[in-house]
Amino acid sequence: MVDPDGRSGEVVIGEQNKTVTITSNVILYGSSGSAALAKSTASDIQNQWNAASGKTTIGGTEYSVKFAVNGSYNANLKESDVAGNTDIKNNYFKVVESGIAISFADGVGSNTGEFLLKNISSDGSTTEAHEFGHGWGAVKGTADGHPVDKDLRGEGQPSMMNARGTIVDAQYQYDPKAKPGEKGGTINPDRRNVTQQDINYLSLDKLKYDKNGKGNLGTLSNDYH
């Protein structure tokens, strides 16, 4: 079990409009999930990553980076449905209200795991966007999948991939009046934004693309909970 959780997606290079599009499907299941929650979860991920107006350079050509995330709820999802999945775009997450401390996945870059309802129930919450970043490959080469620097004082806006517990400027803390590192004195996750640095973490320029310009982010763990 790892935190944050990971998901997968399909990457397509559009030569005519010079856009790289990352497409993922969020499929929620479990008694605490719903169609409305799946829709808002997908919307939060898509909107926050698109807000960065990201860019990437592949083969010497600069492309805009676009994210398309679809959400659905399947109350009758079976283990065989997940185990037999062959679509890199599909990500299956059980929604629970208790029993786990924090949302998690079955491995870095996996497409399955569990969501803690309170982490994703608010419109505009960043947990979904942060954790999708891990599934898409951020942050490579670090012990915990997060940026190494855990003290960002003086650097302003924290990025989406900064971890809980990171020390930030006062306005980005849970409590702006708290002393850095003490209770209330670390990053408020909902103050994170997707930045160009987050786009860079995905290493889109290093993926293997087929002759049609398609590539895969993440892997298929296909574990049912």
Predicted confidence (pLDDT) per residue in 165-203, tens digit: 999 999 999 999 999 999 999 999 999 999 999 999 999
Query: What's the confidence (pLDDT) of residue 1?
Result: 34
Query: What's the confidence (pLDDT) of residue 107?
Result: 66
Q: Is the pLDDT of residue 92 over 80?
A: yes
Q: What angle do CA 22, 28, 31 make, to 5 degrees?
A: 170
Residue 41's nearest CA partner among 26, 23, 51 is 26
Q: Is the pLDDT of residue 7 over 70?
A: no
Residue 173's nearest CA partner among 162, 5, 132, 101 is 162
Q: What average pLDDT does range 208-214 have in this prediction?
A: 95
Q: Is the pLDDT of residue 2 over 60?
A: no
Placement of tokens 């980076």 in the chain: 65
Q: What average pLDDT does range 4-15 have in this prediction?
A: 75
Q: What average pLDDT does range 72-100 have in this prediction?
A: 96
Could you give the percent of the chain with pLDDT greater than 90? 78
pLDDT, greater one: 177 or 136: 177
pLDDT, greater one: 110 or 184: 184
Q: What average pLDDT does range 15-39 have in this prediction?
A: 97
Query: What's the confidence (pLDDT) of residue 4?
Result: 34
> Identity (one letter) of the amino acid at 158?
P
> Identity (one letter) of the amino acid at 122?
S
pLDDT, greater one: 225 or 107: 225
**What mean pLDDT value characterizes the chain?**
92
Q: What average pLDDT does range 82-110 have in this prediction?
A: 89
